Structure 1
Amino acid sequence: VYMYIQKRITKRLQQFEEQLPDALDIIKRVLQAGQPINQAFKEVGDEMPDPIGIEFKKTFNLLNFGYDMRLAILQMVDRTPTISMLAFSSAVILQKETGGNLTENLDKVSRVLRARFKLARKIRTLSAEARLSSWILVLSPFALYILTMFLNPDHAKLLITDPRGIKAISIGIISLSLGALWIRKIINVRV
């Protein structure tokens, strides 16, 4: 259950991050039209699908109830703790406290986020061969054992019944696990 929930959380946060550049473009257009940032949050909440639409709608509701902009955005960051959201919140809070051109800052953040996603996709494409190789290396001992069971069942049983075979299987599983973790560490490049 824990792994399922973590997978759902990760998927939701990834969807949120992928939708954020489009949401920033909507905010930028609303601000260029002369509307306040509260209205920009409402537009994003109305126009964008889940999960980003709901989060911006919640923030808009908090701002309508009289919440401070800083607190409302920090609560949004707590609900969606991603690097992209931290960049957005920093731009908005910084503009609110020191002034400046929020439209220009959001445009820059949007371009950086899009470039980051493009780089992540490129890295994923380039590492696809290594991921396939790791699956082949991890699954080949099991496939070889199943093949041995069909070709020579006595030889395969000897691996399970003999103490030396069990010791060899134990060492093999430990080595296989370490190798899989090592390959995974090499393949996973964080952007």
Structure 2
Amino acid sequence: MSNALRAGFSINQAFESVVQNGEKPISQEFGVMLQQMRVGMNFYDALQSLDKRVGSDDLTLVVTSIDIARRTGGNLTEIFDKISLTIRERMRIERRVQTLTAQGRLQGIIVACMPALLGAAMTFIKPGLMIPFFKSVNGMVAIGLTALLIAIGWFFISRIIRIDV
């Protein structure tokens, strides 16, 4: 869109270029917006409708910027360039966070699976060793408590590694 505006196109023509050259499904959504404008919906309402349908934080940023630029007379080309850089930087940070939290996710999976794997290994190595856990009340309480503590640990590990960018 920024390149279309830089080439001298109007904002509507820039949206048309997104419909023509953009990737689906966003190009289709812009097409719906342009169709709404053709049947009489005003520009701002069509943009708001697009924003509600798509539900993307990045698109909300674009729609808000277009509205502010429309009211204050800002340079849309510069605004779109800065938004593009912001979106790319956010995506880069999200990928970095995914990379850095991968170890925590793997540790959570290992910690959650370890008791069951150890129980299975002990049953395989010495079959009668685990029978008291399943036959006595104390053993059942220990198994239940272990499952509860694993669930609590999994909850906290997932909360620790969840980072919103």
Partner residue of 1:100 out of 66, 74, 77: 74
Aligned to 2:47: 73
Q: Which amino acid aligns with 1:88?
A: V
Q: Deviation string for 1:109-157 (max 9, x for gaps)? A: 1111111111111111122111111111111111112112212222223
Q: Does 1:57 align with 2:31?
A: yes
State the distance in 2 between where 1:157 and 1:69 align: 72
Runs of 4+ aligned structure 1 residues displaced above 6 Å come to none
Aligned ranges 1:41-190 → 2 under 5 Å: 41-190=15-164
Partner residue of 1:33 out of 7, 30, 33: 7
State the distance in 1 between where 2:131 and 2:50 align: 58
TM-score normalised to structure 1 length: 0.81
Aligned to 1:9: none
Higher Cα radius of gyration: 2
State the distance in 1 between where 2:81 and 2:139 align: 63
For 1:109, what is the secondary structure of its paired residue?
helix
The answer as to whether partners of 1:63 and 1:69 remain within 8 angstroms in 2 is yes
Stretches of structure 1 that go unaligned for 5 or more consecutive residues are 1-26
For 1:153, what is the secondary structure of its paired residue?
coil
The answer as to whether partners of 1:38 and 1:63 remain within 8 angstroms in 2 is no
State the distance in 1 between where 2:15 and 2:54 align: 15
Q: CA deviation at 1:61?
A: 1.4
% same residue: 28
State the distance in 2 between where 1:161 and 1:59 align: 66
Q: CA RMSD in A?
A: 1.4
Q: Which amino acid aligns with 1:123?
A: V
Q: Which amino acid aligns with 1:82?
A: S
